């Protein structure tokens, strides 16, 4: 920060966000929680809950906050899955997203909030298409990792 209190650089810099990817493994099925975007970009398309980090906010805290704001879901333990930053993944500019994921053993009641028009659980084998941003790629990685977990192997038929 410079002496005037502004963040200034001589070169362009990326934006940073955090997403929350939550699976529910219950009743012999695996589901993922998605939100329907209520605004540009990708208005009306399904996506992972997420958003920009605050300047003084921890990355995981951002994912937890966005999950609660956009779905009402709380108390899901999250851990970092991966970072995604392919140029062009967001039409607003250069965006790097750190995805946090968690698994719950029941389908919790959810409701769209903040900039999410809707929140809903989807069977991982019947995802809506197309998903916003690069979330199909994100989900493919997460589903691959989910299928290695004991909770999935013991509960999904």
Strands (E) located in the chain: 15-26, 29-37, 46-47, 50-52, 79-84, 95-104, 116-123
3-state secondary structure of 32: strand
Other Cβ atoms less than 10 A from the Cβ of 137: the count is 14
pLDDT value for 5: 62
pLDDT by residue, tens only, the chain of 157 residues: 556 666 677 888 899 999 999 999 999 999 999 999 999 999 999 999 999 999 999 999 999 999 999 999 999 999 999 999 999 999 999 999 999 999 999 999 999 999 999 999 999 999 999 999 999 999 999 999 999 999 999 999 8
Question: Residue 72 has what pLDDT?
Answer: 98
- Tell me how far apart the alpha carbons of residues 24 and 5 are, in angstroms, rounded to a whole number: 44
The predicted structure's pLDDT at residue 12: 84
Q: Where are the domains of the chain?
A: 15-155
Q: Beta strands 15-26 and 50-52: pairing type? A: antiparallel
The CATH number of 15-155 is which of 3.40.50.11860, 3.90.79.10, 3.40.50.720, 3.30.70.1230? 3.90.79.10
User: What gap in Å lies between CA 115 and CA 92, rounded to an integer?
Assistant: 16
Asked if 79 contacts 101 with a C-beta cutoff of 8 angstroms, the reply is: yes
Spatial CB neighbours of 76, under 8 Å, sequence gap ≥ 6: 20, 22, 67, 102, 104
Helix H segments across the chain? Answer: 59-71, 135-146, 150-155
């Amino acid at each position: 920060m410079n002496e005037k209190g502004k963040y200034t650089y001589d070169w362009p810099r990326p934006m940073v966000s955090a997403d929350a990817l939550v699976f529910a493994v219950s009743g012999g099925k695996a589901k993922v929680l998605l939100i329907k975007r209520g605004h540009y970009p990708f208005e009306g398309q399904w996506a992972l809950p997420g958003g920009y980090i605050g300047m003084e906010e921890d990355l995981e805290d951002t994912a937890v906050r966005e999950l609660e704001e956009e779905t009402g879901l709380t108390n899901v333990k999250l851990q970092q899955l991966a970072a995604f930053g392919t140029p062009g993944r967001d039409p607003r500019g250069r965006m790097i997203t750190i995805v946090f994921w968690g698994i719950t053993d029941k389908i919790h009641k959810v409701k769209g909030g903040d900039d999410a028009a809707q929140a809903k659980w989807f069977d991982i084998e019947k995802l809506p298409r197309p998903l916003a941003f690069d979330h199909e790629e994100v989900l493919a990685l997460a589903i691959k990792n989910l299928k290695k977990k004991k909770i999935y192997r013991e509960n999904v038929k």
